Every structure is written in C-alpha cells, then in structure tokens.
Amino acid sequence: MFSRSLTLAVLFAVSSPLLAADGDGPLSQERGKTRPLIVIASSSVDPTLVSLKKNLDEPANKEGFAKRDMVLYTIINTVGQRNGKDLDAQATMALIRELKLGAQTEKQAQVILVGKDGEKKMTHNGPIDPKDIFSTIDQMPMAEKEAAAAAPPAPVAEPKAATQSGKPAKPGKAAPAAPPAGLDD
C-alpha cells in the first residue's frame, strides 16, 4: 500500500510541472480573448519602443487598439510588462519561451503580433506604424468573423399563407400541404 502511494506521489510530482508549463504562459491565457502586441527591446529608450508607445497614446490609435482587443507586452532585457504593469520573472520567461525566440542577436527592437488563436501573425524589426499593425489585424479571418457577428442580421419577411379561398390564414394554422408528387420511373 505504501509503495503504491509513494509511486503515485512521485508520478504526480514529476508530471505537475510539465502540465503546468502548457497553460501557464501569458500568451496561452490571452488566447481567444485578446491580440497581444509584443515589443522586445534592449533598453527602455529604444527608438522603436518609444515611438510605438507615443503613437499608441494618440486618441485615434488608442481607440483602434482597444477596438481590436489588443494588449501591449514589452520585454526590456528580461523585465516584462503587460499594459504598463510589471510581470513577475516567471511570467516573463514563460512569455519568452512561448514566443520561441531563441538567441536574440538583432540590435533593433522586435515587434511581434500574436492573433487570438495564439499564432504569430507578424514579426517586424525596427520602427513600425500602428496603422500597419491595424491593417494586418483587419485582414485576419477572425476579424472578418467578428465584424460579421457585430452587424445585425437583416430581418426576413415571412410570406403570408393564404387559404384556398384567398383569405390570409390565421396565425398558428398552416395551409394544407399538397400531396407529394409521384415518382417517375
């Protein structure tokens, strides 16, 4: 009995971190809800990061950012933030692992757009205009489905059923159905 319990405890201890690693990352938590825009820079004064933040603070871009269900992640060296709020070290490392970046050798900042499905939709090095990001999102199939769902469906007019005498049928009563046509062999 003791050996079974010990075996079960060991299996649980070994498998728990593996199972937790699959769904604990920031991107997996955003899946289906938002579109993460991730900026990876070597310093907080990186021209790409500074210009993108400045552009996103403009009212029109801020509205477009919110309308498209986006969140901004920044990774400066190994310090991560989500919409300006610090992430802990584990969440930052999980974000980096989820992006599968490998060793970064570029000197310019990298901008990555991730779709609601969790897949990378765009990777860009250096400065980028928010309008380019928005147009990429607007071309995504998910954005088209959301736009179609937001539009109210057109009302369908029901044809009025008439009785054999030409008078409209009473609601709830259907006109008698015609007998089925015979099969021609």
pLDDT digits (tens, 9 = 90+) for 108-152: 889 999 998 888 999 999 888 999 999 998 888 765 556 555 555
In the predicted model, is pLDDT for residue 59 greater than 90? yes
| Number of domains comprising the chain | 1
Residue 101 banded pLDDT, cuts 50, 70, 90: confident
Residue 97 lies in a domain: yes
pTM of this structure? 0.64
The answer to whether 60 and 129 are in contact (CB under 8 A) is no
Domain presence at residue 5: no
User: Does 80 map to a domain?
Assistant: yes
**162 occurs within a structural domain:** no
Dist. CA 135–CA 121, nearest whole Å: 12
Question: Looking at the domain assignment, is residue 2 inside a domain?
Answer: no
Task: Please report the pLDDT score of residue 141 as a whole number.
Answer: 78
- Find the CATH number of the domain harbouring 113: 3.40.30.10
Residue 171 — very low, low, confident or very high, per pLDDT cuts 50/70/90? low
Asked if the structure places residue 105 within a domain, the reply is yes
CA distance 160 to 185: 36
Residue 75 lies in a domain: yes
Which domain covers residue 53, as residue numbers?
Answer: 24-143
Identify whether 148 is part of a domain. no
